[in-house]
Amino acid sequence: MIQQLEQSADEPSVWVPRALCSLVIEVNFIGQDPAIVDPMETYEKPDDRLPLMVFGPLSLLIAGTPIVVDGMRIPVPRLAGSVLEKLVTDRTGEKGDRDLLVVIGLLSMITDADYDELQHIYDATSPELRHAIRSNLAILSLIDARPGMPDPRPQRAAVARLLARLEAP
Amino acid sequence: MTHAERVKHIHARVRIQRWEFRQRRLAHGAWHRFRLALAAAREAHAIDEPTFAALVAEGFAPDDRGKGLEPARDIVWITADRAARLTDATPLAMRLDAAMLGARVLALVAFE
Protein backbone atom coordinates (compact mmCIF):
# COMPACT_ATOMS: atom_id res chain seq x y z
CA MET A 1 0.00 0.00 0.00
CA ILE A 2 1.52 3.31 -1.05
CA GLN A 3 0.27 6.23 1.00
CA GLN A 4 0.82 9.99 0.74
CA LEU A 5 2.41 9.56 -2.68
CA GLU A 6 1.09 9.59 -6.18
CA GLN A 7 2.51 8.38 -9.45
CA SER A 8 4.56 10.94 -11.35
CA ALA A 9 3.10 11.98 -14.65
CA ASP A 10 6.63 12.14 -16.08
CA GLU A 11 7.96 8.76 -15.03
CA PRO A 12 5.70 5.89 -14.00
CA SER A 13 8.16 4.28 -11.54
CA VAL A 14 8.61 7.54 -9.61
CA TRP A 15 6.07 8.41 -6.93
CA VAL A 16 5.95 11.99 -5.73
CA PRO A 17 4.41 13.50 -2.58
CA ARG A 18 0.83 14.59 -2.78
CA ALA A 19 0.59 18.36 -2.67
CA LEU A 20 0.18 18.75 1.09
CA CYS A 21 2.69 16.13 2.25
CA SER A 22 5.77 18.32 2.38
CA LEU A 23 7.64 15.98 4.78
CA VAL A 24 7.55 13.10 2.33
CA ILE A 25 10.22 12.75 -0.33
CA GLU A 26 9.72 11.20 -3.73
CA VAL A 27 10.36 7.50 -4.16
CA ASN A 28 11.95 5.96 -7.22
CA PHE A 29 11.04 2.28 -7.50
CA ILE A 30 13.61 0.18 -9.35
CA GLY A 31 13.96 -3.54 -9.89
CA GLN A 32 16.79 -5.95 -9.09
CA ASP A 33 17.03 -9.30 -10.86
CA PRO A 34 19.72 -11.61 -9.48
CA ALA A 35 19.81 -13.46 -12.81
CA ILE A 36 21.41 -10.49 -14.58
CA VAL A 37 24.32 -8.13 -13.88
CA ASP A 38 25.28 -6.68 -17.26
CA PRO A 39 23.83 -3.24 -18.12
CA MET A 40 22.92 -4.67 -21.55
CA GLU A 41 20.44 -6.95 -19.79
CA THR A 42 18.60 -4.03 -18.23
CA TYR A 43 14.91 -4.31 -19.06
CA GLU A 44 11.50 -2.82 -18.45
CA LYS A 45 9.08 -4.77 -16.28
CA PRO A 46 5.64 -3.62 -17.32
CA ASP A 47 2.86 -3.44 -14.77
CA ASP A 48 -0.40 -1.54 -14.75
CA ARG A 49 0.17 -0.23 -11.21
CA LEU A 50 3.95 -0.06 -10.83
CA PRO A 51 6.04 -0.56 -13.96
CA LEU A 52 9.76 -0.83 -13.18
CA MET A 53 13.15 -0.49 -14.73
CA VAL A 54 15.22 -3.55 -13.80
CA PHE A 55 18.89 -2.61 -13.90
CA GLY A 56 21.46 -5.36 -14.38
CA PRO A 57 24.23 -3.75 -12.28
CA LEU A 58 21.94 -3.57 -9.24
CA SER A 59 22.76 -7.26 -8.77
CA LEU A 60 26.22 -6.16 -7.63
CA LEU A 61 24.58 -4.75 -4.50
CA ILE A 62 24.65 -6.94 -1.41
CA ALA A 63 22.48 -6.11 1.58
CA GLY A 64 24.43 -4.55 4.43
CA THR A 65 23.57 -3.81 8.02
CA PRO A 66 20.45 -1.62 8.09
CA ILE A 67 20.73 1.78 9.66
CA VAL A 68 18.10 2.98 12.09
CA VAL A 69 16.75 6.51 11.81
CA ASP A 70 14.03 7.60 14.24
CA GLY A 71 13.26 3.97 14.95
CA MET A 72 12.89 3.06 11.29
CA ARG A 73 15.21 0.39 9.87
CA ILE A 74 16.55 1.48 6.50
CA PRO A 75 18.20 -1.16 4.34
CA VAL A 76 21.55 -0.12 2.86
CA PRO A 77 23.93 -1.99 0.56
CA ARG A 78 27.47 -3.01 1.50
CA LEU A 79 30.19 -0.61 0.38
CA ALA A 80 32.05 -2.86 -2.05
CA GLY A 81 29.04 -3.62 -4.23
CA SER A 82 27.91 -0.01 -4.08
CA VAL A 83 31.26 1.21 -5.41
CA LEU A 84 31.22 -1.29 -8.27
CA GLU A 85 27.59 -0.62 -9.15
CA LYS A 86 28.39 3.08 -9.51
CA LEU A 87 31.45 2.32 -11.61
CA VAL A 88 29.81 -0.03 -14.12
CA THR A 89 26.78 2.14 -14.69
CA ASP A 90 27.61 4.28 -17.66
CA ARG A 91 26.90 7.95 -17.11
CA THR A 92 27.42 11.03 -19.20
CA GLY A 93 27.71 14.77 -18.74
CA GLU A 94 27.47 16.85 -15.58
CA LYS A 95 25.03 14.45 -13.92
CA GLY A 96 27.36 11.60 -14.79
CA ASP A 97 30.29 13.28 -13.07
CA ARG A 98 28.21 14.02 -10.00
CA ASP A 99 27.00 10.43 -9.84
CA LEU A 100 30.58 9.22 -10.16
CA LEU A 101 31.66 11.49 -7.31
CA VAL A 102 29.45 9.44 -5.02
CA VAL A 103 32.19 6.79 -5.33
CA ILE A 104 34.61 9.24 -3.72
CA GLY A 105 32.35 9.48 -0.71
CA LEU A 106 32.16 5.70 -0.50
CA LEU A 107 35.94 5.28 -0.84
CA SER A 108 36.46 7.62 2.10
CA MET A 109 34.71 5.04 4.33
CA ILE A 110 36.00 1.81 2.82
CA THR A 111 38.03 -0.67 4.89
CA ASP A 112 40.59 -3.30 3.93
CA ALA A 113 37.89 -5.95 4.26
CA ASP A 114 35.69 -3.96 1.88
CA TYR A 115 38.59 -3.79 -0.60
CA ASP A 116 38.92 -7.58 -0.42
CA GLU A 117 35.20 -7.97 -1.03
CA LEU A 118 35.35 -5.47 -3.89
CA GLN A 119 38.20 -7.41 -5.50
CA HIS A 120 36.26 -10.66 -5.14
CA ILE A 121 33.18 -9.23 -6.86
CA TYR A 122 35.32 -7.51 -9.51
CA ASP A 123 37.11 -10.75 -10.38
CA ALA A 124 33.75 -12.41 -11.04
CA THR A 125 32.59 -9.80 -13.55
CA SER A 126 33.08 -9.93 -17.31
CA PRO A 127 36.15 -8.41 -18.98
CA GLU A 128 33.92 -5.68 -20.45
CA LEU A 129 32.62 -4.67 -17.02
CA ARG A 130 36.10 -4.79 -15.50
CA HIS A 131 37.28 -2.47 -18.25
CA ALA A 132 34.37 -0.09 -17.57
CA ILE A 133 35.22 -0.08 -13.85
CA ARG A 134 38.87 0.78 -14.48
CA SER A 135 37.95 3.37 -17.10
CA ASN A 136 35.50 5.13 -14.78
CA LEU A 137 38.02 5.07 -11.92
CA ALA A 138 40.55 6.82 -14.15
CA ILE A 139 37.94 9.41 -15.15
CA LEU A 140 36.99 9.85 -11.51
CA SER A 141 40.60 10.57 -10.62
CA LEU A 142 40.70 13.47 -13.09
CA ILE A 143 37.38 15.23 -12.70
CA ASP A 144 36.87 18.48 -10.87
CA ALA A 145 35.20 18.96 -7.53
CA ARG A 146 31.53 19.91 -7.72
CA PRO A 147 29.58 22.02 -5.22
CA GLY A 148 27.84 19.86 -2.66
CA MET A 149 29.70 16.71 -3.67
CA PRO A 150 32.71 14.91 -2.15
CA ASP A 151 35.98 16.46 -3.31
CA PRO A 152 37.86 13.87 -5.42
CA ARG A 153 41.30 15.41 -4.92
CA PRO A 154 42.06 14.11 -1.40
CA GLN A 155 40.97 10.62 -2.50
CA ARG A 156 43.10 10.45 -5.66
CA ALA A 157 45.66 8.27 -3.85
CA ALA A 158 42.92 5.83 -2.83
CA VAL A 159 41.67 5.71 -6.41
CA ALA A 160 45.22 5.06 -7.66
CA ARG A 161 45.71 2.26 -5.10
CA LEU A 162 42.43 0.67 -6.12
CA LEU A 163 43.29 0.92 -9.81
CA ALA A 164 46.72 -0.63 -9.20
CA ARG A 165 45.11 -3.44 -7.24
CA LEU A 166 42.51 -4.12 -9.95
CA GLU A 167 45.13 -4.00 -12.72
CA ALA A 168 47.47 -6.41 -10.92
CA PRO A 169 47.70 -9.75 -12.74
CA MET B 1 11.33 9.59 -21.18
CA THR B 2 9.40 6.32 -21.14
CA HIS B 3 10.90 3.15 -19.71
CA ALA B 4 11.18 1.69 -23.19
CA GLU B 5 13.13 4.74 -24.31
CA ARG B 6 15.40 4.50 -21.24
CA VAL B 7 16.13 0.84 -21.96
CA LYS B 8 16.93 1.70 -25.57
CA HIS B 9 19.21 4.55 -24.41
CA ILE B 10 21.04 2.34 -21.89
CA HIS B 11 21.56 -0.40 -24.47
CA ALA B 12 22.94 2.16 -26.93
CA ARG B 13 25.43 3.39 -24.30
CA VAL B 14 26.46 -0.17 -23.51
CA ARG B 15 27.11 -0.81 -27.21
CA ILE B 16 29.46 2.17 -27.17
CA GLN B 17 31.16 0.80 -24.03
CA ARG B 18 31.60 -2.54 -25.81
CA TRP B 19 33.17 -0.78 -28.77
CA GLU B 20 35.49 1.11 -26.40
CA PHE B 21 36.44 -2.21 -24.80
CA ARG B 22 37.31 -3.70 -28.19
CA GLN B 23 39.32 -0.55 -28.93
CA ARG B 24 41.28 -0.70 -25.68
CA ARG B 25 44.50 -1.69 -27.39
CA LEU B 26 43.73 0.20 -30.61
CA ALA B 27 43.34 3.85 -31.57
CA HIS B 28 40.39 4.90 -29.44
CA GLY B 29 41.87 3.14 -26.42
CA ALA B 30 44.64 5.73 -26.44
CA TRP B 31 42.57 8.02 -24.22
CA HIS B 32 41.89 5.22 -21.78
CA ARG B 33 45.60 4.40 -21.55
CA PHE B 34 46.53 8.08 -21.16
CA ARG B 35 43.96 8.58 -18.39
CA LEU B 36 45.23 5.49 -16.56
CA ALA B 37 48.74 6.93 -16.56
CA LEU B 38 47.49 10.25 -15.18
CA ALA B 39 45.35 8.51 -12.57
CA ALA B 40 48.47 6.83 -11.19
CA ALA B 41 50.24 10.18 -10.86
CA ARG B 42 50.28 12.37 -7.77
CA GLU B 43 51.84 15.25 -9.70
CA ALA B 44 52.29 16.21 -13.34
CA HIS B 45 54.72 18.75 -14.76
CA ALA B 46 54.84 20.09 -18.30
CA ILE B 47 58.45 19.92 -19.47
CA ASP B 48 60.29 20.42 -22.75
CA GLU B 49 61.83 17.76 -24.96
CA PRO B 50 65.47 18.35 -23.90
CA THR B 51 64.42 17.94 -20.24
CA PHE B 52 62.56 14.75 -21.16
CA ALA B 53 65.67 13.39 -22.88
CA ALA B 54 67.83 14.34 -19.91
CA LEU B 55 65.49 12.65 -17.44
CA VAL B 56 65.44 9.45 -19.47
CA ALA B 57 69.24 9.61 -19.70
CA GLU B 58 69.31 9.90 -15.89
CA GLY B 59 67.51 6.57 -15.74
CA PHE B 60 63.91 7.65 -15.21
CA ALA B 61 61.37 5.44 -16.96
CA PRO B 62 59.52 6.62 -20.05
CA ASP B 63 55.90 5.54 -20.47
CA ASP B 64 54.39 4.96 -23.91
CA ARG B 65 50.76 5.49 -22.80
CA GLY B 66 50.75 8.95 -24.38
CA LYS B 67 52.04 7.74 -27.72
CA GLY B 68 48.64 6.82 -29.14
CA LEU B 69 47.36 10.38 -28.98
CA GLU B 70 47.66 12.87 -31.81
CA PRO B 71 49.92 14.69 -31.28
CA ALA B 72 51.72 12.07 -29.23
CA ARG B 73 52.60 12.89 -25.63
CA ASP B 74 55.95 11.94 -24.15
CA ILE B 75 55.70 10.79 -20.56
CA VAL B 76 58.47 10.09 -18.08
CA TRP B 77 58.06 8.96 -14.46
CA ILE B 78 60.27 10.76 -11.98
CA THR B 79 60.60 10.94 -8.21
CA ALA B 80 59.21 13.74 -6.06
CA ASP B 81 62.78 14.77 -5.19
CA ARG B 82 63.68 15.07 -8.84
CA ALA B 83 60.45 16.96 -9.57
CA ALA B 84 61.40 19.50 -6.91
CA ARG B 85 64.64 20.17 -8.78
CA LEU B 86 63.04 20.65 -12.22
CA THR B 87 63.71 23.98 -13.87
CA ASP B 88 61.50 25.42 -16.60
CA ALA B 89 58.72 23.03 -15.70
CA THR B 90 55.10 23.97 -15.21
CA PRO B 91 53.15 22.12 -12.51
CA LEU B 92 49.76 20.99 -13.76
CA ALA B 93 46.52 20.40 -11.92
CA MET B 94 45.56 16.74 -12.05
CA ARG B 95 42.57 17.08 -14.31
CA LEU B 96 41.93 16.86 -18.05
CA ASP B 97 41.87 20.60 -18.65
CA ALA B 98 43.36 22.70 -21.43
CA ALA B 99 46.75 22.95 -19.72
CA MET B 100 47.04 19.18 -19.27
CA LEU B 101 45.83 18.45 -22.79
CA GLY B 102 48.09 21.13 -24.24
CA ALA B 103 51.24 19.69 -22.68
CA ARG B 104 53.21 17.67 -25.21
CA VAL B 105 55.80 16.38 -22.73
CA LEU B 106 54.95 15.33 -19.18
CA ALA B 107 56.96 14.37 -16.13
CA LEU B 108 54.78 12.41 -13.72
CA VAL B 109 55.32 11.59 -10.05
CA ALA B 110 53.62 8.42 -8.88
CA PHE B 111 51.75 7.99 -5.63
CA GLU B 112 53.91 6.28 -3.02
| Pairwise pLDDT comparison (B65 vs B29), residue with the higher score | B65
Spatial separation of the C-alpha atoms in residues A163 and B78, rounded to whole Å: 20
* pLDDT band (50, 70, 90) for residue A147: confident
DSSP code string of A9-62:
SS-TTEEEE-TT-TTPPPEE-EE--TT--SGGG-EEE--SS--EEE-GGGGG--
| Pairwise pLDDT comparison (A168 vs A1), residue with the higher score | A168
Helix, strand, coil shares of chain A, percent, nearest 5, are 45, 15, 40
Average confidence (pLDDT) over A121-125: 95
Spatial separation of the C-alpha atoms in residues A37 and A28, rounded to whole Å: 20
- pLDDT the model gives residue A2: 72
pLDDT tens digits for range A3-55: 788 888 888 888 888 876 668 888 889 999 999 999 899 999 999 888 899 99
Closest to A138 in 3D by CA, of B14, B24, B105, B52: B24
DSSP B45: E
Q: Which of A11, A134, A142 sits opposite B38 (nearest CB)?
A: A142
Spatial separation of the C-alpha atoms in residues B63 and B37, rounded to whole Å: 8
- Nearest C-alpha in B relative to A53: B3
Give φ, ψ of A67 to 5 degrees. -100, 150
Chain A residues whose CB is inside 8 A of the B94 CB are 141-142, 153, 156
Peptide bond into A75 cis (omega under 30): no
Chain A residues whose CB is inside 8 A of the B10 CB are 39, 42, 90
Mean pLDDT, rounded, of chain A: 90
Chain A residues whose CB is inside 8 A of the B35 CB are 135, 138-139, 141-142
Residues B74/B56, Cβ–Cβ less than 8 Å: no
A-B CB pairs within 8 A amount to 86
pLDDT tens digits for range B50-96: 999 999 999 999 999 999 999 999 999 999 999 999 999 999 999 99
State the nearest Cα–Cα gap between B96 and chain A, in angstroms: 6
Tell me if B17 and A43 make a contact (CB, 8 A cut-off): no
Q: Which of B7, B18, B39 sits opposite A44 (nearest CB)?
A: B7
Q: Is the pLDDT of residue B12 over 70?
A: yes
Show the beta-strand stretches assigned E in B34-110. 41-46, 61-63, 74-78, 90-92, 105-110
